[in-house]
Amino acid sequence: MNIVIIFAGGVGQRMSRKGLPKQFILVNEVPIIIQTLRAFENHPDIDQIYISVLDSYREYMADLAQRYGIGKLRRIVPGGATGQDSIYNALKVAAEEHSADATVLIHDGVRPIVSAALISDCLHAVEQYGSAVPYSPCTETVITSRDGVQIDGVLRREHLYKAQAPQGFPLGKMLDAHERVRCESSGYEGMVDSASVFYHMYGSVHLVRGSSSNIKITNPEDVFILKGLLEYRDAAEAFGLDF
């Protein structure tokens, strides 16, 4: 069984002054969250989808899913105070309905351009190696600074990579990792994604080559980048090119 958890409980304060969470913003007349869901809805090896959203948007999310034909959506779970809390809430619900050895892919609700090939690569890596985290090489200079005024150091970028999603794990081990972290006094401090939670507990995460187009929508300018990437993807598909 292969399931997906989409966490989309954020409010997106950097994106919209009108109060609409960024995952519901329309891009090419389709909400970003629906474009994300479609990637997994259309993948033949994905069985069910769980999504966590703000409790006040659960009914709205259900309406969108029905309107756009997201048939694999199993449950809409209340989001938490943080992204990790939202993921944990969905993991608990999924674990009640699936065995511990089910594969779970955890994905950002605002990362809509994820290819079928990357989803497949992540599923295969979990099966073979027990985990999967997509990455892309860091192409810019990375500096450190304690005060934001002076450079303390320059890191060697050939050893630096940017983690992406979906991040894949055995369902039981991922839930166990979350529960153990939540029992620690520091909680999720310093753990920015599922890979960091899993690595904290098990010490090993397998990397899968991702794609520079697999962007996360964070700032307003990202919407315009997304529009360009969607146009490029459609053109590439029309000409039978890789994207």
- Specify if 149 maps to a domain: no
Q: What region, left, alpha or beta, does residue 77 occupy, with left being phi > 0 and alpha being psi -120 to 50 degrees?
A: beta
Q: Report the candidate in 90, 105, 79 with the shortest Cα–Cα distance to residue 198.
A: 105
Residue 114 lies in a domain: yes
The low-confidence residues of the chain, meaning pLDDT below 70, are 10-18, 240-241, 243
Is 152 a domain residue?
no
How many separate domains does the chain show? 1
What is the predicted pLDDT for the residue at 17? 52
In a domain, 155, yes or no: no
Any idea what the CATH number is for the domain that residue 44 is in?
3.90.550.10
Neighbours of 89 (CB within 10 A): 20
- Asked whether residue 11 is domain-assigned, the answer is yes
Helix, strand and coil percent figures for the chain, each rounded to 5: 40, 20, 40
pTM of whole model > 0.85?
Answer: yes
pLDDT, tens digit, 9 for 90 and up, residues 112-143: 999 999 999 999 999 999 999 999 999 999 99
HSE-up of 242 (CA within 13 Å, CB side)? Answer: 3
Residue 99 lies in a domain: yes
Does residue 122 sit within a domain? yes
Which residue range(s) make up the domain with 180? 2-135+162-238
- Cβ burial of 66 (10 Å; 0-12, 13-18, 19+) is exposed
Please tell me the predicted confidence (pLDDT) of residue 69.
97
Determine, yes or no, domain membership for 212: yes
**pLDDT of 13:** 54
